Structure 1
């Protein structure tokens, strides 16, 4: 990433406003920006607008060999793309520290929380399982990418339908949507992350920081809500 540093006067203005419990967009300290969710024409295509932050998630699947140590479980794969279209700070074709961090957090939020029944993705034990791939594309960056990405990813997974299959001997037949209705994923719960930025060693907290607020924060606290149980990162 190639961030343009803030001018000292702008940084001082932002920090002074936070001390006075004022935000650039008029929100209160714990006000979340408006969330808008729309769906594409394909199963598993979802757009999330969090204020001016905009994210697209697309879920796809394919039959693959399972992992050796988990022969009866399907595979979850996540990929986050930070395009220069979303922000001049993002560089084309380079995996930045931020994209790696977001990917790990999304895996922790969705895969490690076991929100998807991966055993239901097994087709033939030890031979064929469904690999579910979630691609998240950042379309516009105005802060709090993690929350927007987690909302888009879990919503897209809920919207997704995989093809139905039939097994006869060693032969696996995959049916088109015209032949048989596609099947939804088995989802146990919907993990959602809520992010807080903190300033002056935790003296001030803001929920759902915008991009300018992130530029002057001291750190970020992400709370992952799993069926009303919170995990702090």
Structure 2
């Protein structure tokens, strides 16, 4: 699966933030992310957290035949596995360019720097030597895998214990941990790599780049150094031209960071050794209940608020009582009704008073209507004469109250007269 490329807006935003000396996680230019070093239950198992980047290193050993040109020295092998669990861009069972690059850099940092006494790994000259194998597994990829891998590998080598052996003539006996205490490796120094990302052809510099910063960088400089300020290896990638002053500046920054990381690894080894001697829980037994390995926990900052209740009560007491405001008048439109109790009409009259007033008005209206009806009955009524014509028979019907009906022949087609139409009847023949 190919890695999802960054959009132009994201790229411009990251470069603008770097020019303004700002980083997305709030770090300064030369700040490292928070580093955690933990050890497993078995010797030689180490977990390293560099921010959200997680790496596990496991050291193992076996007896093999030595090389012909170096019969008195043991051997060391390194293997870095980029698992799809760490990033969707990594493929299972296929070496990518990144994995080959990390593997070679780790070999230069640890094996070529002679940090381990390989002669102490010889059991029988020319016949049996110890072969040390370091497997590094990436658990989560959030940038700067090289630094996390180097820290995990050297910490695992310092934590590892090989079995003790006994030689009786031509026979070599390997003792278990119950029979004899395992023997630690002879570690001369601890080389640790520090990565520097360059942007805009070396104009801007960042230490410990994150995953998004690695996508927009122009070049990368990796310096492997120990606490004695001895450079073990140096590698530049990206095709940028660096000045001598820039390389010297990076080496000075790396010396400070390596001293801090070495002290952190030493302190972690001492704590693990103390816990094992005291019979306390260590490794997975101590890490699993705290979810330090199985889950990414969000860092929380505790806030002390002892007087929060008292301050809240004081604020409530000091607050003034709000004034009671009357409801706004509701103007009723024609065809609308008012529902609810305790509501007031548009003139501020209560509902009960309004009902009483409506009853009084209705009584008065009834009396007025009755008086008007009596007056109309007392006066004689005059009705208009209605003349209706029939177009088919050319007949006109004239209706007049209390008079017989008369039929007249009309030669005209129709005649109209204003007035209300009472009825229309066809005369009998």
Same fold per TM (> 0.5)? yes
For 1:206, the equivalent position in structure 2 comes to 206
Specify which structure has the bigger relative contact order, considering alpha-carbon pairs within 8 angstroms and separated by 6 or more residues. Answer: 1
Calculate the TM-score normalised by the size of structure 2. Answer: 0.51
- Which is richer in strand? 1
Deviations 1:108-164 (A, max 9, x none): 000000000000000000000000000000000000000000000000000000000
Distance in 1 (CA, whole Å) between partners of 2:103 and 2:2 is 19
Distance in 1 (CA, whole Å) between partners of 2:206 and 2:88 is 25
Distance in 2 (CA, whole Å) between partners of 1:2 and 1:173 is 50
Distance in 2 (CA, whole Å) between partners of 1:103 and 1:40 is 23
Deviations 1:4-33 (A, max 9, x none): 110010001001100000001000000000
Does residue 175 of structure 2 align to residue 171 of structure 1? no
Query: What are the within-5 Å matches in structure 2 for residues 1-233 of structure 1?
Result: 2-221=2-221
Distance in 1 (CA, whole Å) between partners of 2:61 and 2:92 is 26
Deviations 1:147-200 (A, max 9, x none): 000000000000000000001111000000000000000000000001010001
Give the superposition deviation at 1:3.
Answer: 1.8
Distance in 2 (CA, whole Å) between partners of 1:2 and 1:110 is 31
Give the conservation status (yes or no) of the 8 Å contact 1:2–1:91: no
Give the conservation status (yes or no) of the 8 Å contact 1:84–1:91: yes
Distance in 1 (CA, whole Å) between partners of 2:21 and 2:111 is 37
Give the conservation status (yes or no) of the 8 Å contact 1:79–1:103: yes
Distance in 2 (CA, whole Å) between partners of 1:130 and 1:65 is 8
Give the superposition deviation at 1:2.
Answer: 2.3
Give the conservation status (yes or no) of the 8 Å contact 1:161–1:184: yes
Please tell me the root mean square deviation across aligned C-alpha atoms, in Å.
0.6
Distance in 2 (CA, whole Å) between partners of 1:102 and 1:2 is 19
Calculate the TM-score normalised by the size of structure 1. Answer: 0.94
- Which is richer in helix? 2
SS in 2 for 1:102: helix
Distance in 2 (CA, whole Å) between partners of 1:73 and 1:4 is 46
Distance in 1 (CA, whole Å) between partners of 2:181 and 2:219 is 47
Distance in 2 (CA, whole Å) between partners of 1:197 and 1:66 is 40
In the alignment, structure 1 segments of 5+ residues that lack a partner are 222-233
Give the superposition deviation at 1:206.
Answer: 0.3
SS in 1 for 2:55: strand
